[in-house]
Amino acid sequence: MEILIVEDEIKIANTLKKSLIKEGHFPTIAINAEVALELINEAQFDIILLDWRLPKLSGMEFCKQLRRNGNKTPIILLTALTDVSNKIEALEAGADDYITKPFSFEEVKARINAVLRRYRANQNAIQIGDMIINLVDRTVESEKDIIKLSDREFELLKYFLYNKGSIINKEKICKDVWGIEFNPFTNVIEVTIKNLRKKLEQNSKHIFIKTIYGEGYLFIAE
Ligand code: CA
């Protein structure tokens, strides 16, 4: 990922840069907000790590300015201030999260992942319960894992999502998802549903697919 570090404390900036490179990222350092604005005009960044206290234009002012210009790049503010009202101010200015200094790189990594997860969820994915369904990659993602769905599982999941809240029987699922008449001598539908259920529920606190005995399946998406 392309990561912009806006930080006037060179030591902190360099330490962050080194750790991010080790993780396979491409970090760029801007020593103040003015330089950062110039860089943003020239290149696209995946995420911005932004120091709060910068000379001249503050991190927060920078943040507000970016959002005013319609820039939606995820921003994590780095702040030495622990005051609660300041944290609220940071989020209101358009930052996606904040980290209080001094911080460990493990924390930075976790915050970056969490912010990007939320960002991607808004982009080309939908969130159901604690899972994110990525419609482009055809994956289900939990905090612990990303699991790829087969084509049929993905079609079935889309179908369940369209029909969430209603009980659908096997005959109808077979006709609508497989495009064939239901054959009672095969268990392909049960197997596909079982696999999809496992992928959705093994890393989740939620139950998404409920079997209603004698009637069919109920998809719960909340
Ligand atoms: Ca600073």
What phi and psi values does residue 148 have, to the nearest 5 degrees?
-85, 135
pLDDT at 195 over 90: yes
Q: Please report the pLDDT score of residue 83 as a whole number.
A: 64
Separation CA 220–CA 210 (nearest Å): 8
How remote is the CA of residue 16 from the centroid of ligand 1, in Å? 14
28-42, 66-80, 105-119, 120-134, range with the lowest pLDDT: 120-134
How remote is the CA of residue 69 from the centroid of ligand 1, in Å? 24
How remote is the CA of residue 185 from the centroid of ligand 1, in Å? 69
How remote is the CA of residue 54 from the centroid of ligand 1, in Å? 5
Q: Please report the pLDDT score of residue 186 as a whole number.
A: 86
Element at 159 (helix H, strand E): helix 151-162
- Per residue in 126-159, pLDDT tens? 888 888 888 878 999 888 889 999 999 999 999 9
Instruction: HSE, CB side, 13 Å, CA atoms: give it for residue 11.
Output: 1
Domains of the chain: 2-123 (3.40.50.2300), 126-219 (1.10.10.10)
How remote is the CA of residue 52 from the centroid of ligand 1, in Å? 6
How remote is the CA of residue 25 from the centroid of ligand 1, in Å? 23
- Ion ligand 1: residues, CB within 5 A, are 8, 51, 53
How remote is the CA of residue 79 from the centroid of ligand 1, in Å? 8
Q: Please report the pLDDT score of residue 101 as a whole number.
A: 87
- Per residue in 85-126, pLDDT tens? 777 888 888 898 989 888 999 999 999 998 887 787 677 788
Averaged pLDDT of the chain:
91
pLDDT at 31 over 90: yes
Model-level pTM?
0.61
Element at 197 (helix H, strand E): helix 188-201
How remote is the CA of residue 119 from the centroid of ligand 1, in Å? 26
- Determine the straight-line distance between the first and last CA of the chain, rounded to whole angstroms: 31
How remote is the CA of residue 10 from the centroid of ligand 1, in Å? 9
How remote is the CA of residue 164 from the centroid of ligand 1, in Å? 49
How remote is the CA of residue 57 from the centroid of ligand 1, in Å? 11
Q: Please report the pLDDT score of residue 125 as a whole number.
A: 80
How remote is the CA of residue 61 from the centroid of ligand 1, in Å? 14
How remote is the CA of residue 53 from the centroid of ligand 1, in Å? 4
- Top-confidence residue, 185 or 160: 160
Separation CA 194–CA 156 (nearest Å): 11
Helix (H, G, I), strand (E, B) or coil at 49: strand
pLDDT at 39 over 90: yes
